[in-house]
Chains A and B, each alone.
Chain A
Amino acid sequence: MTAAQDFLRNAATKSADLVHRQIIRRGIDHYDAAVRGGRLRFLNWQAAREKCQDIKREAMNHLDRYLEEFERRVKERGGRVFWAETGEEARRYILELAEARGVRTIVKSKSMVAEEIHLTSALKKQGIQVFETDLGEFIVQLRDEAPYHIVTPAMHLTRQDIAALFKDKFGSMGTDDPKVLVATAREALRHAFFTAEMGITGANFLVADSGMVSVTTNEGNADLGLSLPKIHVVITGIEKIIPSVEDLAILWPVLATAGTGQPITCYNTLVGGPRAANESQGPEEFHVILLDNGRTDLLADPQQREVLHCIRCGACLNACPIYRNIGGHAYATTYQGPIGSVLTPHLHGLNEFQHLSQASTLCGACTDVCPVKIDLHHHLLHNRRNAVERANRLWPERIAFKAWRWTVTSAWRFRFVGWIARRVLRWSYALGLESTPLDPLRAWTMDRAAPPIPATSFRAQWRKQSGAN
C-alpha cells in the first residue's frame, strides 16, 4: 500500500474514533489555556515572533559561515564534528563509534532527527540497549509505538493506559496517580543513566559564536545523559544553527511559550566539547553529527527556504484541526502536523508524500501560531503546485481540471454546464437517489446532506429581473 492509501485508511479510522477525539481535545485545551497565559508575559508577542524570524533568517542566509564557525569552536573545545550527507551515514558513524568503544547501553533524550534516521532500531539490531529517557518517549518505546506528537509523545494515552503499561512491564501497583507513574519511570531509568556508556541527545539550537549546543528539557534527562556517560553524541540537522548565544534570550522564552505555554523550560543547557581539563565530571568524548539528508535541497528552493526556520515547538500541530481529528500516528512520518506536511515531501520525496500537503483545508491556523512566522499554509499550497508540475497525479484528475477549465473560461459554457448539472441533480433527487450509489454527488452525500439544488441560477434570475422591462 502506498503511503497515501495508508494515510487515508488511518485517517478514516481515527476520524471516526470519538474517544480519541475527546482525549486529544482535552490535551489541546490545556495547552491552549497555558499558551494564552504565556503570551501575555510578552509585552508584544508579534514583535517577539518577528525577532525570532529575523534570527533564523540571518542564520539561514549565512548558513555555511555559521556552520564553519560552529565547527571550529567545537574543535577548539576538543569535540569532533561529523558532516553526514544522509541518514545512513549518520547511523553508520554512531554504530561504528559504539562498536569501537564497546558501548552496551545508551541513554537517549528526545531527538526528532534520531527518529528521522531510524537510529534506535539500527542500534538495537547491533545488540545495544537503548533507553529513551524522556517520559513520553519512554512510554511509547515500551508500547513499541512511534511518538504521537513532537513535544508530548504520549498525548494519546490516558493515565489508565500508562498505569496498565507500567503494571505490565514493571509489576508496579497499577495506580493511575501521575505522581506515582512518574516516580516509577524515574526509578526504572535511574540505573540506566549511571551505567550507560554513551548518551545521545538532539539539539534545539547550535550556537555558532560559542561552539555550544543548546538542549532544552523540563525533566533534566538530557543533562543526566550528557553528564554521566563517557561519550556524548549530538545528532542534529544543519538548520538548527543560530548566530549568537544572546539570541537565546528571545528563543528560549519563545520556544517554551509556543511549545508548552511556560515562561521558560526548566533546564536550558549549553554544552560544548567533552569535559574540560579542570572539570571534575563529564564525558571524555564529544561528537556532533551535522545531518543534511535533504535540507540543502530545501535551502535551494528560495520560496520554501524559510521552512528550515522551524524550531520544533509543536504549536502548529496543536492548532491544526486536521491533527486534532486524526492525531499524530495517522501521518506515519517522523514529522507530523503542518510542519510535517510541508517538510516531509522535501526530505523523503514529493511523489510519495504529496498527499500530506493535500490533507489540509489551508485554514491558516498553523501560520497564525508559528513563533518564527513560517507561512506554513502557503507552503502547503506551493507543495500542491509543485506536485502537479513535477510529480505524478492521477490522470482522471488532470483531465477533470482540463474539462473544468474548458467550462469556466467561457460564460455560455459555464451557464450550459451548470444548467445541465442542476437538471441532473434535481431529477436524481426527485427520483430519491440521494445517498444511494447512483447519487451524482455521492462523494458529498456520503457524510452530509446535499444542499437544495435551485431551479434557476443567479444570473438567470438577474437577467430576468433586469430584462423584464
Chain B
Amino acid sequence: MAQTESSGRERILARIRTALKTPAPAGAARHFSSEPLPIFAPISDALERFKLECANNNTELIVTPDSGASAAVLDEVLASLPTGEIFVQDAHRLRRLALSSQRRENIRWSNEGAANENAQAAVTLAEILVAQTGSVIVSAACGGRGASIVAPVHIVMATASQLVTTLEAALAQLREHGTATRNSYLCLITGSSRTADIEKILVMGAHGPRRFVVILALSEN
C-alpha cells in the first residue's frame, strides 16, 4: 500500500509539473489599475458593527459592563432552559463563575468527557470576536470539538478585548498567535444553525444550536 501510495503521489505531482510548464494565456484586461480598491467598507466602531451584525444573523448578544454582571446574565439564561446537562468548558474563568447551586449540579465539565447527546446547553469561551460579520471564532481549546455544536443552546462568554474589526485581521491573528497551529479545530460561528433547503425558506435550528448567545463583558473585572 505504501508503495502505490507514494508512486500515485509522484505521478500526480509529475503530471502537475508537466502541465504547468505551459503558462496560461493572460486574462482579459482588468477593470482596476494597480491600486487595489477597498472591497469592504471601513468599520469605524467595531462594537456597534458587532451589535448590528448579531442582530442580523440571529445571535442573542447581551452586553454587560463586567464579568460579574456576565455571570449573573449567564445564570439567568441557564435558568430559562429546561433542566438537563449543561456542558461547560473546563477553563479557569468559567470555573470561577459564581453560579447558583441548581446550575452547578447539572454542570458537566469538558475535561470529564464529551458532551452528552441530550445536553441542554453548552457554555464556552471564545478565541476572537469578529465585528465585520458578527461572528465568534471558537477553537478545540474551547471545550473540545463539538462543544459549540452538540447542544441546542450555545452560550459564549466573551470580553470586549477579544473583539477584532475585520475577518482579515482575525485570521491574521490566528496565525500570528499560533492558535491555528495549536488547535486541530477552529470554527467561525455566525449566528444559530439554519437551513433553507426546503423551498428556500430559512428555518433556524438545523443540526447545530437553535440559540446562539454571546454574553459580552465590556471590561475584564
Contact = CB atoms under 8 A, between A and B. Distances in A.
A contacts B directly (C-beta below 8 A): yes
Interface of A: 26-27, 30-31, 41-44, 46-48, 50-51, 53, 57, 61-64, 67-68, 77, 82-85, 89, 133-136, 139, 152-155, 157-159, 162, 178-179, 181-183, 185-186, 189-191, 193-194, 209-210, 212, 218-221, 223-224, 226-228, 238, 245-246, 248-250, 252-253, 260, 263-276, 278-282, 286, 290, 292, 296, 299-300, 302-303, 305-306, 373, 375
Given A246-B175, A264-B188, A299-B16, A219 B195 contact: yes
Given A43-B37, A153-B197, A182 B205 contact: yes
Contacts of A82: 5, 8
Interface stretch (B38-46, B75-83, B99-107): B38-46
A44 B187 contact: no
User: Which of B90, B135, B172, B184 has most A Cβ within 10 Å?
Assistant: B184
Nearest to A254: B39
Contact of A42 (B40, B170, B196): B40
A84 B8 contact: yes
Given A41-B40, A267-B190, 7 more contacts: A223-B187, A252-B188, A270-B180, A271-B184, A275-B185, A282-B144, A300-B19
B195 A182 contact: yes
Nearest to B191: A266
User: Which of A41, A157, A263, A290 has most B Cβ within 10 Å?
Assistant: A263
* Interface of chain B, main secondary structure: loop
A464 to B, nearest CB: 44
Nearest to A209: B175
Contacts of A305: 19, 24
Contact of A43 (B40, B141, B193): B40
A194 B115 CA distance: 10
Interface in B163-221: 166-168, 170-172, 174-175, 180-201, 203, 205-209
A178 B207 contact: no
Contact of B8 (A85, A209, A373): A85
Contacts of B56: 263
Given A64-B17, A276-B184, A302 B22 contact: yes
B150 to A, nearest CB: 7
A228 B114 contact: yes
Interface of B: 5, 8-9, 11-13, 15-20, 22-25, 27-28, 30-32, 36-41, 53, 56-57, 90, 110-111, 113-115, 117, 133, 135, 140-141, 143-150, 166-168, 170-172, 174-175, 180-201, 203, 205-209
A329 B115 CA distance: 40
In the A-B complex, the 9 residue pairs with the smallest Cβ-Cβ separation, listed nearest first, are: A220-B208, A227-B146, A281-B144, A219-B206, A227-B145, A300-B19, A280-B144, A249-B168, A136-B197
A67 B15 CA distance: 13
A192 B62 CA distance: 34
A83 B205 contact: no
Contacts, number: 289
A266 to B, nearest CB: 5
A302 B18 CA distance: 12
B146 A260 contact: no
28 contacts: A26-B200, A27-B199, A83-B8, A84-B8, A135-B195, A135-B198, A139-B197, A158-B199, A159-B198, A178-B198, A178-B199, A193-B207, A218-B195, A221-B208, A223-B146, A223-B187, A224-B146, A224-B150, A226-B145, A246-B172, A264-B188, A266-B194, A269-B185, A272-B184, A292-B12, A296-B15, A296-B16, A302-B25
B13 A152 contact: no
Contact of A220 (B18, B23, B199, B207): B207
A339 B19 CA distance: 21
B116 to A, nearest CB: 9
